[in-house]
Amino acid sequence: MSADEQPIPSVWARPRREREQPALSREHIVAEAVRLLDEEGTEALSMRRLGSRLNAGATSLYRHVASKDELFELAVDAIYGELPPPGPAAAGWRESAGDVARGLRATILRHPWIAAKLAEVGLAFLGPNALRHSEHLLGLFEAAGFPPAEADQAMSTLVAYVLGVSTSEAAWLSMIARSGGSQREWTERLWPAAERAVQDYPRLRARYAAQRGDDPARSNEDSFEYGLQRVLDGLQTRLP
């Protein structure tokens, strides 16, 4: 078999297997996988562990999903299915695009494991829910007045901003969840060490002093919103 004939390792690049069993469908498997990932993270997911939760053997799961990598692709697309479509551009493209960005961030923070997986799951962008979301978002930018090629770039820019910020935030929240404390408790524990570390850096020292006592969740919201508005400002300049 030549290199060009090698199968692409993605659930979206092969025909769906139809050997479905009423008691154990692909959708049922994926929903339970998402629950396991939300509860225990990516390291906990295995076909054997998932089969145990479903009262089925790993062999039964392989009738529906060829590998754990495919399972991650399906789980990621299931999360994309939680995203509502953008509102109409007539209501204000900035407001609609901002709502999309906030919704994507909120979804990632509900499922922190997805942030690290988005770049690792092969052809995740070919999942039906991901495609539907991209189609709606492209339509929003085109209706706002972006040429089709630039609408694609505008969409990529907005999504890249959200993923960049949310990946760091999701990692932070995952670490806190493992500690068993809250964001505020963890920040209070960390603060003395942070203050000692910035003693020789006057700008950072002043910034840390000004932020002492702030609600970390509120600070994260404000930082995200500031960056989002600057991204939208930049995109606005591309319109007549």
Over residues 93-121, the mean pLDDT reads 88
CB 77 within 8 A of CB 129: yes
Task: Write a three-state SS string for 101-156.
Answer: HHHHHHHHHHCCHHHHHCCCCCCHHHCHHHHHHHHHHHHHHHHHCCCHHHHHHHHH
Residue 14: pLDDT band with limits 50, 70, 90? low
Per-residue model confidence as pLDDT tens digits over 33-62? 999 999 888 888 999 999 989 988 878 888
Q: Quote the percentage of the chain above a pLDDT of 70.
A: 88
Report how far residue 16's alpha carbon sits from residue 179's, in angstroms, rounded to the nearest whole number: 40
Give the least confident one: 105-114, 173-182, 224-233: 173-182
pLDDT of 159 reads 92
CB 144 within 8 A of CB 89: yes
Question: Domain 89-236 is classified in which CATH homologous superfamily?
Answer: Tetracycline Repressor, domain 2 (1.10.357.10)
Segments making up each domain of the chain, as ranges: 3-80, 89-236
pLDDT of 97 reads 94
With a threshold of 0.95, does the pTM exceed it? no
Matching fold, domains 3-80 and 89-236? no
pLDDT of 121 reads 60
CATH of domain 3-80: 1.10.10.60
pLDDT of 107 reads 93
Over residues 89-104, the mean pLDDT reads 87
Which runs of E-coded beta strand occur in the chain?
A: none
Statement: residue 234 has pLDDT above 80: yes
Is the sign of the CA dihedral 68, 74, 77, 81 positive or negative?
negative
